[in-house]
Amino acid sequence: MDKANLGTSFRQITPQKFSEQQLEKAKEKQSSRVVFFSLVFPEHSSAVSAYIEAVRELACELLDLLAEGLWVPDRSVFSRLIRDVDSDSIIRLNHYPPMPMLCQDKDSSPCNQNKVGFGEHSDPQILTILRSNDVGGLQISLNDGAWVPVTPDPATFCVNVGDLLQAMTNGRFVSVRHKALTNSYKSRMSMAYFAAPPPDARITVPPEMISPTKPALYKPFTWAEFKKAAFALRLGDSRLGLFRMECDEQVA
Ligand SMILES: O=C(O)CCC(=O)C(=O)O
Ligand SMILES: [Fe+2]
């Protein structure tokens, strides 16, 4: 098939060819808490392509509105990265099978603690468009560290600000820390579209957002550099800290 005709969305979901053995191994590695399917779609699935096309468009519209709201004259400054033919956006399906609850401690009898299916983290990309079935489990962290459950609604998208958007807005938008819990009675399924720039895209702040009173918080970096740094850390670690300007380096 002609690469140029596929568009970014299809390219991003080009199925990886896993052998049965590799899949089994991957499932084992993820433990039984969360079986993590990455890009295992039937080739040329038009429904999946259409879905990706639609959520990509949604992400772009949201980013354009966001730029407008920040008074950035070039309103496509963020969405351009996602529309790029080399955009590194991906889609991920998560499956959380029902799991027996954890006992609080050995002396208290009721086992009433949900197990963590997907540990605390922020999404590294620009924006995440997430939806799930009607089973709860997603929680987001507030500034004070309190965890707030997100009401499950299969007809609603949950939009997460990712680390790159935090960097590109000089900290005006903050990437949200979140996690997903399992329950003991029903499977949870979720589907996340992670809108990302091309690997060699330079992540910078629109000049209008930097001033003597709001100096640049992060050093410029590429998405490939950020991903490399992220992979070297644990899921819950803060990656942006690695790219933060030292006080004496801050430029207005
Ligand atoms: O399953 C969920 O609701 C959250 C999944 C998630 O955070 C992720 O895939 O990055
Ligand atoms: Fe996430």
User: Can you tell me which atom of ligand 1 is nearest the CA of 190?
Assistant: 1
Domain assignment present for residue 78? The answer is: yes
- Residue whose CA lies nearest to ligand 1 atom number 9: 192
Q: Which of 93-107, 119-133, 224-238 has the lowest mean pLDDT?
A: 93-107
pLDDT at 250 over 50: yes
Domain assignment present for residue 96? The answer is: yes
Q: Which of 37-41, 63-67, 165-169 has the lowest mean pLDDT?
A: 37-41
Contacts of 49 (CB under 8 A, 6+ apart): 9, 10, 13
User: Can you tell me which atom of ligand 1 is nearest the CA of 121?
Assistant: 7
| Mean pLDDT value of segment 137-156 | 94
pLDDT in tens, 185-233: 999 999 999 999 999 999 999 999 999 999 999 999 999 999 999 889 9
User: Can you tell me which atom of ligand 1 is nearest the CA of 188?
Assistant: 1
Considering every ligand atom, which ligand is closest to the CA of 93?
Answer: 1
Closest CA relative to residue 218, chosen from 174, 251, 195: 251
Q: Is the dihedral of CA 233, 234, 235, 238 positive or negative?
A: negative
Which of 90, 94, 121, 156 for a ligand 1 pocket mutation test, highest count of atoms within 8 Å of Cβ? 94
Q: Is the dihedral of CA 46, 48, 50, 56 positive or negative?
A: negative
Query: How many angstroms does the Cα of residue 69 sit away from the middle of ligand 2?
Result: 25
pLDDT at res. 25: 56
- The enclosing domain of 62 has a CATH number of 2.60.120.330
Domain assignment present for residue 60? The answer is: yes
Q: Which pLDDT band, with edges at 50, 70 and 90, does 144 fall under?
A: confident
Domain assignment present for residue 142? The answer is: yes
Domain assignment present for residue 16? The answer is: yes
What are the distances in angstroms from CA 169 to CA 88, 97, 204? 20, 37, 9
3-state DSSP assignment of residue 7? helix
18 neighbors 156 (Cβ within 8 angstroms) = no
Catalytic residue IDs: 188
Query: How many angstroms does the Cα of residue 122 sit away from the middle of ligand 2?
Result: 6
Domain assignment present for residue 231? The answer is: no
- Residue whose CA lies nearest to ligand 1 atom number 1: 190
Domain assignment present for residue 89? The answer is: yes
Domain assignment present for residue 235? The answer is: no
For the chain, give the mean pLDDT: 83
Q: Phi and psi for 220 in degrees, rounded to 5?
A: -65, 145
Q: What pTM was estimated for this model as a whole? A: 0.81
Tell me the residue range of the domain where 150 lies. Answer: 8-101+111-200
Cβ < 6 Å from ligand 1: which residues?
Answer: 92, 94, 118, 123, 130, 132, 138, 178, 180, 190, 192
Contacts of 155 (CB under 8 A, 6+ apart): none
pLDDT at res. 247: 67
Report the number of distinct structural domains present in the chain.
1
More confident residue, 251 or 179: 179
Residues in the chain: 252
